[in-house]
Amino acid sequence: MRLRRLKAILCALTLAGAAKFALAQEAPPLSTGQTLYLPIYSHLYHGEVNPKTGKPSETLVSTHVSIRNIDMKATLKITSARYYDTDGKLLREYLPAPRTIPPLGTYELFVPRSDSSGGSGANFIIDWSAERPINAPLVEALHADIREARTLLFVTTGRPIQTR
């Protein structure tokens, strides 16, 4: 039953993404590099505020970051993937050395559910570059908490904050 529900959710996300691309009127601009902002939620607040603690309930989630080179002919290089907390404090660099992603290849990062250091307003700042103008990568974070009684799953998408 849980697997069937997960498949239905993934199918809905895929169809929503396909519809978004179908509505595009023009091809996206090519770029030789960008700095991307990717929102991350290490935990979610929900429910009512507990009068004893003054805080709402929270659910911890894991995050799978996917950096996809959608250019069919050229490689790109990820030069940095910095993880920041809710207060904007740098927690760590996830990329010890630059990584090259081949055409249609993917590089992945993972923030485990046990790492709540980022807080509800965490983010990644991801820098990439290419030798010539190419299609910008698709950068998404899949947040998940899957348990017997329920499945929580949602996606956030990277947004360029600087283009080169």
pLDDT digits (tens, 9 = 90+) for 55-105: 898 999 999 999 999 999 999 999 999 999 999 999 999 999 999 999 999
**Nearest residue to 109 via CA among 82, 77, 90, 72:** 82
Q: Report the chain's mean pLDDT, rounded to a whole number.
A: 90
CB atoms within 10 A of CB 107: 20
Q: Decide if 10 is inside a domain.
A: no
Query: What CATH number did the domain enclosing 106 receive?
Result: 2.60.290
The whole-number pLDDT of residue 148 equals 83
Give the model's pLDDT for residue 11.
57
Nearest to 53 by CA among 45, 62, 61: 45
**Long-range contacts at 155-161 (CB < 8 A, ≥ 24 apart):** 155/13, 156/38, 156/39, 156/40, 156/41, 157/38, 158/36, 158/37, 158/38, 158/124, 158/126, 159/36, 159/37, 159/38, 160/34, 160/35, 160/36, 160/37, 160/136, 161/35, 161/36, 161/37, 161/125
In a domain, 45, yes or no: yes
Q: Summarize the confidence of residues 103-114 as an average pLDDT.
A: 97
User: Residue 23 domain-assigned?
Assistant: no
Residue 86 lies in a domain: yes
What domain range includes position 67?
28-163
pLDDT-derived band at 15 (thresholds 50, 70, 90) equals low
- Confirm whether 117 is domain-assigned: yes
Q: Is residue 90 part of a domain?
A: yes
Residue 55 is assigned to a structural domain of this protein: yes
Model confidence, pTM: 0.82
pLDDT beyond 90 at 135: yes
User: How many domains, in total, are found in the chain?
Assistant: 1
Answer yes or no: is 7 within a domain: no
Give whole-number Cα distances, 56 to 44, 50, 59, 143, in Å: 10, 6, 10, 20
Residue 116: pLDDT band (50, 70, 90) is very high
Asked if pLDDT for residue 8 goes beyond 70, the answer is no
